C-alpha cells in the first residue's frame, strides 16, 4: 500500500525516473554486448515520438484543469450551502429561545447563539471551543442531571437545535479539509506542465543539434519525459480514485471492503 502513495510523490517520481533513465542509457551505451542499437533512429522518428508524448500530456493537462475546477467549485458550493443552513438554523434556534420564559438558562443559550452568529464563512472552521460553548456544556450537564423536570425538558429541546448546528459546523470543517486536499490535483497539473515544457525543449534542441553523437542524449531525455508522463497518469488516477472513494457512504464502503 505504501508503494501506491510513494509513486505519487515528486521525490520518488524523480528518483525512479532517474534510475530507469540511467539504466536505459547504460543499456544503449553497451549496445555491442546487448545487441541493442539506436543507429537506425532518425530525427523524424524521434521528433514524432517526443511530440506524441507532449500531445498526450497536453490533453492530460486540459482534463486535469477541468477536474480541478470541478472539485474546487463543487467544494466551495457545498461549503456556502452548509453555511447558509448554519445561519438559518441559528435563526430558528434564536426564535425558539426568545419564545421561552426569561431565565438564566435561556440567557446562556442565547449567548452561545449570538456568539455563533458572529462567525463569517472566512472564520470557519474553528479548532477551539469558545467560552460560551463551554459554559453551555456545563449548564447542559447540570440541567440534565438535576431534579428539575422543566429545566431538563428545556435542555433536551436545546440539544436538538444546538446539535444540528454542531453537525453543520462539522460539515463545513470536512468540506474545508477537502478543499485543502484538492491542492494535490493542482500539484499534479503543475508537474504535467513542467514535463510538457521539458518535452518542448527537447524537441527544439533536437531540431538543431540532433546527430549521431548527440542521439543517445536525446533518447535518454525522451525516455525521462515518457516515464514521468506514465507516473503522472498513475498519480492522477490514484487521486481520482481517492476522491470518489471518499464519496461512498459507510454501507457501500463496508460492502466493498468485505468483497475485497
The pTM is what?
A: 0.74
Domain co-membership, 248 together with 226: yes
Alpha-carbon distance of 1 to 164, in angstroms, equals 37
Q: Which uninterrupted H or E stretch holds 169?
A: helix 149-181
Do residues 65 and 85 both lie within one domain?
Answer: no
Least confident of 80-94, 212-226, 243-257: 243-257
88 and 154 share a domain? yes
Name the band, by pLDDT with cuts 50, 70 and 90, for residue 72: confident
Residue ending a domain, choose from 158, 173, 203? 158
DSSP label at residue 35: T
Same structural domain, 69 and 85: no
Q: Is residue 27 over pLDDT 50?
A: yes
- Which grid cell is 120? 463569517
- Within 8 A by CB and 6+ apart from 90, the residues are 113, 116, 117, 165
CA distances (Å), 246 to each of 11, 183, 233, 240, 249, in order? 26, 16, 20, 10, 8
Q: Which three cell numbers stand for residue 65?
A: 484543469
**Side-chain-facing half-sphere of 254: CA atoms under 13 Å:** 3
> Could you tell me the three cell numbers for 126?
474553528
* Cα 170 to Cα 187: distance, rounded to the nearest angstrom: 27
Q: 226 is written with which cell numbers?
A: 515518457
State what percent of residues in the chain have pLDDT above 90. 48
Identify the residue with better confidence: 57 or 178. 57
% helix / strand / coil in the chain, to the nearest 5? 85, 0, 15
CA-CA distance, 15 to 6, in Å (whole number)? 11
- Domain identity same for 59 and 7: yes
Most confident range (mean pLDDT) of 41-45, 64-68, 94-98 is: 94-98
Together in a domain, 118 and 94: yes
pLDDT at 75 over 90: no
Q: Answer for the pair 185, 63: CB distance below 8 angstroms, yes or no.
A: no
Determine the Cα–Cα distance for residues 119 and 154; give it in Å rounded to an integer. Answer: 25
- Average pLDDT of 17-45? 77
Tens-digit pLDDT profile for residues 186-245? 888 899 999 999 999 999 999 889 988 888 889 999 999 999 999 999 888 888 877 777
Residue 251 confidence class, pLDDT cut points 50, 70, 90: very low
- In contact, 146 and 152? CB cutoff 8 Å: yes
For residue 169, being part of any structural domain is answered with: no
| Number of structural domains found in the chain | 2
* Residue range 138-163: mean pLDDT, rounded: 92
- Residue 246: pLDDT above 70? no
> Could you tell me if 193 and 61 are in contact, meaning their C-beta atoms sit under 8 angstroms apart?
yes
Q: Are residues 71 and 186 in the same domain?
A: yes
What average pLDDT does the segment 59-68 reach?
A: 87
Domain that holds residue 126: 80-158
- Domain-located, residue 170: no
Amino acid at each position: 500500500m505504501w508503494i501506491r502513495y510513494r509513486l505519487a510523490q515528486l521525490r520518488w517520481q524523480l528518483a525512479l525516473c532517474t534510475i530507469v533513465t540511467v539504466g536505459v542509457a547504460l543499456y544503449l551505451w553497451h549496445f555491442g554486448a546487448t545487441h541493442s542499437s539506436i543507429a537506425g533512429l532518425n530525427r523524424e522518428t524521434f521528433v514524432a515520438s517526443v511530440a506524441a508524448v507532449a500531445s498526450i500530456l497536453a490533453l492530460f493537462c486540459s482534463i486535469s484543469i477541468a477536474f480541478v475546477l470541478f472539485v474546487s467549485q463543487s467544494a466551495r458550493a457545498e461549503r456556502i450551502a452548509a453555511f447558509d443552513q448554519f445561519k438559518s438554523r441559528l435563526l430558528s434556534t434564536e426564535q425558539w429561545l426568545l419564545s421561552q420564559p426569561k431565565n438564566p438558562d435561556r440567557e446562556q443559550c442565547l449567548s452561545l447563539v449570538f456568539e455563533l452568529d458572529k462567525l463569517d464563512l472566512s472564520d470557519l472552521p474553528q479548532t477551539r471551543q469558545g467560552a460560551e460553548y463551554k459554559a453551555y456544556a456545563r449548564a447542559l450537564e447540570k440541567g440534565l442531571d438535576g431534579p428539575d423536570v422543566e429545566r431538563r425538558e428545556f435542555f433536551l429541546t436545546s440539544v436538538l437545535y444546538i446539535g444540528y448546528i454542531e453537525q453543520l459546523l462539522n460539515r463545513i470543517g470536512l468540506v474545508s479539509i477537502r478543499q485543502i486536499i484538492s491542492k494535490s490535483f493542482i500539484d499534479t497539473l503543475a508537474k504535467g506542465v513542467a514535463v510538457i515544457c521539458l518535452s518542448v525543449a527537447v524537441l527544439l534542441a533536437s531540431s538543431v543539434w540532433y546527430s549521431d553523437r548527440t542521439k543517445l542524449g536525446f533518447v535518454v531525455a525522451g525516455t525521462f519525459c515518457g516515464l514521468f508522463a506514465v507516473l503522472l497518469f498513475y498519480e492522477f488516477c490514484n487521486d481520482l480514485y481517492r476522491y470518489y472513494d471518499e464519496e461512498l457512504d459507510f454501507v457501500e464502503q463496508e460492502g466493498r471492503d468485505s468483497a475485497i
